[in-house]
Structure 1
């Protein structure tokens, strides 16, 4: 006999959780910071150029390594990125949403792993929520 979880029940509870998240003042503020960033063409361009440079340098580092001048140039462009308040607030908002996502994943993973609801102490702040498979623990 095939056993299935009641996904309608799970969906209902997830809707409750997501509604609670959406109704937090912090959510509304963080969401507005993301929208402010996406509407600022100059900030988006600066961020995309940095991301492209980062990818390119990561590939080069894996192939042949980086020179001190390349590292210094990268660090300077990264500092300029954080000097832009629109980008800085966008990155903060992304980090906050990522932290919430991680907590949700960790609660689910730990519940299955422990066969009980985990305590808050058993949930690692800033962890990945993968159950240890990625090595970020």
Structure 2
């Protein structure tokens, strides 16, 4: 992995990477890819990154939007669920989602970076959001080493 840094412009996005003025450093697969981005004039090669956990974590955070892992600040605390069943959290989330309108579900999904294009039925939205939230929870647990 090679670390490159944005040196020109406010942001740069393409199908492989996304860098902003606030988060200018990104990791790319190899030196050839890094040289490609350096040749655009927007990036500078900062060096080769090791394969340590910190570099992998940084790469994942650059690849996924922050709000995928962090709930929006305008929400209250998450409901407390007693341990004992694997589906207890799923039941709470599904119950919470079912209490929302279609418009509220779309807003909820948008705030978490979940794409709802093509979904208009409440049941489909609830199922899709629940599934995507479960994936985000699993990714968060992996990043934390749980």
- What TM-score does the superposition give when structure 1 sets the normalisation length? 0.29
Q: Give the helix-richer structure, 1 or 2.
A: 1
TM-score (norm 2): 0.28
- Bigger radius of gyration: 1
